[in-house]
Amino acid sequence: MAKTNAARILDAASIRYELREYEVDEDDLSAPRVAEKIGMPPEQVFKTLVARGDRNGVLMACIPANTELDLKALAAASGNKKVELVAVKEVLPLTGYIRGGVSPISVKKPYSLYLDETAILFDAISVSAGVRGCQLVLAADDLARALSAQFCAIAKG
C-alpha cells in the first residue's frame, strides 16, 4: 500500500508509527470490526467522527471504537450549546476522506479535534491512516505532536 498523506505528515515530523492493513468489509465498516481485524482491543482503536457545533462550526472527535459519542459532553468541551454529527454526504467535502477512512491527521482544513481522555491510558492507539483498510498505530502524545506539526506546516504554507 502506498503511504497516505497522514503517514507522510508523521514521517516529516519524525514520529514513529506502524501501519496495519486489513481487508475492508463494505457491509461492516464499524470501528469494533476494524479493531478485531488489526488485532487490537476496541478501546485502543479510535474512530474519528465529524460534527458541527451551533457556535464554533465543524469539529472532530476521536473516541474509542466501542463507545458512542456523547454530543452533550462534546458541546460543553467545544464551547457550543449543541453539537450534531454531520451527514455522511458532508464527510468527504469537509475532510477529504470517505466514511470509514477519516483520519484526524491531514484533514482538508484544520478543525478542532477532541481526543477522548482514555487515549493516554495506552502505550499505543490506532487511528485511520486516511483510507479504508489501513490504520496508524502510534502513541497518543505522538498523535498530538503530529497535529501540531501539521498545523504549523499549514501555517507556514
**CA distances from residue 105 to 2, 8, 30, 39, 81 in whole angstroms, order as listed:** 16, 10, 20, 22, 26
Average pLDDT of the segment spanning 7-29: 91
Q: Where are the domains of the chain?
A: 5-156
Q: What is the pLDDT of residues 119-141, one digit of tens each?
A: 999 999 999 999 999 999 999 99
Q: Choose among 50, 14, 10, 13: nearest CA to 134.
A: 10
pLDDT at 28 over 90: no
Q: What is the pLDDT of residues 91-127, one digit of tens each?
A: 999 999 999 999 999 898 889 999 999 999 999 999 9
Out of 3.40.50.12780, 3.90.960.10, 2.60.40.10, 3.10.180.10, which CATH number does the structure's domain 5-156 have? 3.90.960.10
Q: Tell me what pLDDT residue 152 has.
A: 46
